[in-house]
Amino acid sequence: MDEGALSTVLTGKEHENLERDKTKKKNREAPEDSTFDTEKTRQMSTESNDFTNNSQQNIDDSQSSFKNNQKDSNLITPRMEYLIHTYQVFDSKKVRKKARRMAIQLMEQIGYTVMVVTPGKFAIKYASSAPYHLFFTRVENSKETYNQQFSIIFSEILDRSFGEIVNSLHLTFMVDVIWLYLQYLLAGQCIDMTILYKHKIRDHEALSENITIIKVDRQHEFSSHHTNIMILQYKNGIRVIVSTAGLYSVDWENRTQGLWISPHLPYLPESAHPSDGESPTGFKKDLERYLDKYDQPVLTQWISAVRRVDFSDVNVFLVASVPGIHKGYEANFWGYKKLAYILSRYVTLPPDAQWPIVALSSGVGSFGSTVENWLLKDIIRCMSKETSIGLKNHPQFQFIYPSIENYKQSFDCQTLITPLTYSAELHSKQQWLEQYLYQWKAKRTGRDRAIPCIKSYTRISPDSKRIPWFLLTSANLSKVAWGSTKQYEGYSIGNYEAGVAFIPKLITGTATFPIGEEEDTAVPIFPIPYDLPLSRYDSVDSPFVNEFVDSLNEM
């Protein structure tokens, strides 16, 4: 297969057929996760769903394809080799400018959407995002998002105003290494990097000796590597980024994604103890513990780097999941139990407060035949935690998940792709969920047509002006992402996931964050990606299911 050819990503059923064919016809075996030439331009989506013995859906953001621009596909490999060998050092503005120009040219030839900003200015935008440092991806088809202080494109993360990158670590669900390399080239940064992934867009292991790429094997049949974390290493420290977006172009073009970028974290003195430089939130130890769970020798140097860095300026909590059965006190380190642990120690709501829990997710798991099976018993109970102890009614639960009408109006629908994962068969078994469903509306931020791949959880005051906490995460609303308690088995989690929890007490010294623009307060407004108040599904609405895209593809 021509390495430069662009792909149509297979549907889940087509992938199963391919795997079967690979077993039968080893002489024509295709590389795992490889891509295939097509005769015409086409975009499709795939469901990446697995099921446990209890029919638990394993939520993976759908794989998406790229435009199949064959015009210069035979030139991609030699051009990439030339760029890799030519631009190892970016020691002058002239060299960076030339590399940037060549990267843009190659992206246009391949068929990637070219998203650029003036380089060298992101440090100013980052400073203005304090104290939250929360960003949403710029939407290519929504010009309204271009000049927002909280909008970002990928190459800005790598901007040299942050410093010169000497090495980087990427933990991701899906990666297109060519696209990722070109982003580094746009920013004039070194491409020494390590990538741990679940899916890759195409097969090109020999792209560069500077890149180490490792597929994360499942610890058991139903686990998924769904995390999106970056660690950028500079000569004088590191920076950590926790995101909801994968490392491929479609996820950064016309979808709503979120990411948190840490402050610059300097190295500690050589005489410091590894436990020194901890943040008030315990982020350093939590990150070290999370990386250690991979049991990957390639991560040893990164665990060491984390130990040698001062995290004292980090003001968010790391909320992660790792596959396995977790028992005893150790269970509190992961999933919904980790979030419950944080909320019960740092969040205080007014007495008798009726603040609904608001979940936003791009995938829907298997919850059982009633709300009591898992959603109420585990998730709502967890997210109701606070410091005050006493009997309170469970708060209202509101679940933002795009309807079919939301999808039909989206930019993704124009090319028949989707990051959403939910099956009609599964919904038929839990139609009670419809009473909790709310539309995706984001006109205020110019993202109404940018389907959310972002996942977030919070509670919102009845007047829609305040929140007591906010979680940005890769974790969809599912058991495999958050965990579930099983009798005699302990606390079970299927996926690798990662998110950050924003707690007012640790960031602004207040009990809540203001979210209403009209609020007269010295505390900066916390950015919420969707419109408030929320909009319930209309009587004619139904949740998006992947079969809807299949039906459009068949037309």
Report, as ranges of residue numbers, the positions in the chain whose pLDDT lies below 50.
1-75
- Can you say whether residue 444 is alpha, beta or left, with left for phi > 0 and alpha for psi between -120 and 50 degrees? alpha
Q: Answer for the pair 40, 76: CB distance below 8 angstroms, yes or no.
A: no
Q: Which pLDDT belongs to residue 12?
A: 37
Domains of the chain: 317-553 (3.30.870.10)
Q: Are 361 and 317 in contact (CB under 8 A)?
A: no
Query: For the chain, what's the residue count?
Result: 555
Say how far apart CA 99 and CA 235 lie, in whole Å. Answer: 22
Per-residue model confidence (pLDDT) at position 393? 73
Cα 162 to Cα 158: distance, rounded to the nearest angstrom: 7
Question: What is the model's pLDDT at position 81?
Answer: 65
DSSP H helices, 45-113, are 73-86, 93-110
* pLDDT for the residue 399: 98
> Which uninterrupted H or E stretch holds 357?
strand 357-360
Active centre residues (catalytic): 226
pLDDT at 213: 92
Half-sphere exposure (Cβ direction) of 75: Cα atoms closer than 13 Å: 10
Using CA atoms, how far apart are residues 157 and 249, in angstroms rounded to an integer? Answer: 15
- How confident is the model at residue 48, as a pLDDT? 35
Classify burial at 39, counting beta carbons within 10 Å of its beta carbon; exposed 0-12, middle 13-18, buried 19 or more. Answer: exposed
**CB proximity list for 356: less than 8 A, separation 6 or greater:** 395, 396, 397, 398, 459, 460
State which H helix or E strand residue 287 sits in: helix 283-292
Q: What per-residue confidence (pLDDT) applies to 320? A: 98
CA distance 471 to 244: 12
In 3-state terms, what secondary structure has residue 144? helix
Tell me what pLDDT residue 372 has: 93
Q: Residue 391's pLDDT is what?
A: 54
Q: Which of 423, 541, 452, 474 is nearest to 46 (CA)?
A: 423
Residue 71: its pLDDT value, please?
Answer: 37
pTM of the model: 0.87
Provide the pLDDT for residue 207.
66
Looking at residue 56, its pLDDT comes to 39
What local confidence, expressed as pLDDT, does residue 392 receive?
65
pLDDT at residue 458, rounded to an integer? 98
Sign of the dihedral through C-alpha 506, 511, 512, 513:
negative
Task: Give me the amino acid identity at 372.
Answer: E
